[in-house]
């Protein structure tokens, strides 16, 4: 057996590899610098182009570009009319933003449990948590795997709920052959550097509803409209006229970020293909290791993997997750944990949420670890990660 680096042995590789990173080419840099040399650096033609590109790619009728994925979620909640007195059902196994956006609107996030095999929100648990006050569901395509659209859609129709999909992980994923972005009532993307394509920062909301689209554009820009048809007093004093007709925010994205996102969109299918290749190699290598459990796929989801998660069977290992994580780090494979259940955070605890609320999510959380997956990984990098996982498992096997 190979001696672990953490015990004084040689690491599987010399340079550190991280769980995710962006891919920026010369043409991406050129796209950004072109905008910087032009007359519009914000709210110009590149934002329009980004929106049209996203509409074309996803098949959604409308895309609204915003400053980041969190702003996208906030705008989606505003468009859905979420406010004080409402409850919104979401998952605890996500980044805090998926629930914070509900609090921004003065409403109450309610956590439904996950399916312990797919790690996505469990439609049966959504059902259990519906009350008179439930207004919407925010379902997260965790790791990039699409949520159970058919089941969630049926629930939303039965109880007149709005279906919001946090697809920060899932651009390029298809459900039943249709692109994520075209399916839910409102879908949000993030273009943070760890996500599948990036603008440095950036986000978007997609919808097929013209009514939601109008509300999204108002939420993005202070509640201000320049369109006569939307004005309360359209008898314009002059061409400078605009009206603030609701309360909105400044969630604009710059033209140079939009240019970067448009440029990255051209590579998206290649990125997705590479991510799938890497995930397949991991699946093949790890399915033979009895100390690991892998995320179960649903047949409807053609998944572009944003994260690859191994789940440790701690009953079969002599180490804790922390020891496994540290040992991987010493092998120069820097893992990450996605995510601490949202309601465990002190802020949520102060709001009255208690540990034990979602037993499946808590149990899954205790064993999971995200290993590196991003398109710039070489085949050797993938081999190194597999080697490190095998090596650590062998050393800690009971």
What residues between 194 and 223 interact with ligand PLP by CB under 6 A? 203
Residue with tokens 């205790």: 366
Angle ∠(214,86,253) on CA atoms, nearest 5:
35
Name the segment binding ligand PLP (CB under 6 A); options: 21-29, 146-154, 165-173, 217-225. 165-173
**DSSP H stretches of helix in the chain:** 26-36, 45-58, 69-79, 97-104, 123-128, 149-159, 210-220, 255-265, 268-286, 321-330, 346-350, 359-367, 379-396
In the shown chain, the binding pattern of residues 322 to 351 toward ligand PLP, with x for contact by CB under 6 A and - for none, equals ------------------------------
**In the set 74, 149, 169, 274, which binds ligand PLP (CB under 6 A)?**
169
69/341 with CB nearer ligand PLP:
69
Report the nearest approach of ligand PLP to the CB of residue 55 (Å): 20
What residues between 87 and 146 interact with ligand PLP by CB under 6 A? 94-95, 97-98, 140
60/73 with CB nearer ligand PLP:
73
**In the set 22, 53, 58, 70, which binds ligand PLP (CB under 6 A)?**
70
175/396 with CB nearer ligand PLP:
175
Report the nearest approach of ligand PLP to the CB of residue 101 (Å): 8
Report the nearest approach of ligand PLP to the CB of residue 168 (Å): 3
* Alpha carbon distance 196, 167 (integer Å): 11
**In the set 22, 68, 118, 120, which binds ligand PLP (CB under 6 A)?**
68
3-class SS of residue 88: strand
69 touching ligand PLP, by CB under 6 A: yes
Strand partners, 188: 166, 205
> Quick one: which H or E segment has residue 164?
strand 162-166
4/72 with CB nearer ligand PLP:
72
Contact at 8 Å (CB) between 6 and 327? yes
Q: Are strands 301-302 and 174-175 parallel, antiparallel or unpaired?
A: antiparallel
311 touching ligand PLP, by CB under 6 A: no
168/317 with CB nearer ligand PLP:
168
187/190 with CB nearer ligand PLP:
190
Residue with tokens 């797919």: 118
162/327 with CB nearer ligand PLP:
162
From 179, 173, 201, select the one nearest 260 (Cα to Cα).
Answer: 201
168 touching ligand PLP, by CB under 6 A: yes
190 touching ligand PLP, by CB under 6 A: yes
Burial class (CB in 10 A: 0-12, 13-18, 19+), 34: middle
136/393 with CB nearer ligand PLP:
136
Name the segment binding ligand PLP (CB under 6 A); options: 9-17, 164-172, 280-288, 387-395. 164-172
Q: Is 348 left (phi over 0), alpha (psi -120 to 50) or beta?
A: alpha
* Alpha carbon distance 375, 373 (integer Å): 7
Report the nearest approach of ligand PLP to the CB of residue 190 (Å): 3
Report the nearest approach of ligand PLP to the CB of residue 186 (Å): 14
Contact at 8 Å (CB) between 70 and 101? yes
372 touching ligand PLP, by CB under 6 A: no
Q: Tell me the Cα Rg of the chain.
A: 22
What angle separates helix 69-79 from helix 97-104, to the nearest 10 degrees?
Answer: 40
Q: Give the binding site for ligand PLP (CB under 6 A).
A: 68-70, 94-95, 97-98, 140, 166, 168-169, 190, 192, 203
């Amino acid at each position: 057996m190979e001696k672990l680096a953490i015990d004084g042995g040689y690491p599987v590789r010399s340079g550190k590899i991280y769980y995710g990173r962006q891919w920026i080419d010369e043409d991406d840099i050129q796209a950004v610098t072109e905008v910087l040399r032009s007359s519009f650096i914000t709210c110009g033609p590149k934002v329009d182009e980004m929106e049209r590109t996203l509409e074309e790619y996803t098949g959604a009728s409308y895309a609204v570009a915003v400053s980041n994925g969190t702003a996208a979620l906030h705008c989606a909640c505003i468009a859905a009319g979420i406010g004080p007195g409402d409850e919104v059902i979401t998952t605890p196994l996500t980044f805090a933003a998926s629930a914070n956006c509900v609090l921004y609107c003065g409403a109450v996030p309610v956590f439904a449990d996950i399916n312990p095999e797919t790690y996505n929100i469990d439609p049966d648990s959504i059902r259990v948590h519906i009350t008179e006050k439930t207004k919407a569901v925010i379902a997260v395509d965790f790791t990039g795997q699409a949520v159970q659209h058919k089941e969630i859609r049926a629930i939303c129709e039965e109880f007149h709920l709005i279906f919001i999909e946090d697809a920060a992980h899932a651009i390029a994923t298809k459900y039943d052959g249709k692109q994520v972005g075209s399916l839910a009532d409102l879908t949000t993307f993030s273009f943070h550097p760890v996500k599948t394509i990036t603008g440095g920062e950036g986000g978007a909301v997609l919808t097929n509803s013209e009514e939601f689209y109008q509300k999204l554009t108002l939420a993005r820009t202070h509640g201000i409209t320049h369109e006569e048809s939307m004005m309360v007093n359209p008898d314009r004093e002059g061409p400078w006229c605009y009206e603030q007709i609701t309360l909105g925010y400044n969630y604009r994205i710059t033209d140079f970020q939009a240019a970067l996102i448009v440029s990255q969109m051209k590579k998206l299918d290649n990125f997705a293909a590479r991510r799938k290749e890497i995930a397949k190699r991991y699946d093949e290598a790890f399915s033979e290791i009895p100390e690991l459990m892998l995320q179960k796929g649903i047949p409807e989801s053609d998944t572009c993997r944003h994260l690859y998660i191994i789940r440790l069977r701690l009953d079969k290992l002599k180490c804790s997750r922390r020891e496994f994580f540290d040992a991987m780090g010493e092998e120069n494979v820097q893992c990450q944990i996605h995510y601490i259940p949202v309601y465990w955070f002190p802020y949520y605890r102060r709001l009255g949420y208690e540990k034990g609320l979602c037993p499946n999510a808590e149990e899954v959380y205790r064993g999971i670890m995200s290993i590196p997956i991003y398109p710039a990984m070489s085949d050797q990098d993938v081999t190194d990660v597999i080697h490190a996982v095998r090596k650590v498992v062998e050393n800690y096997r009971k």
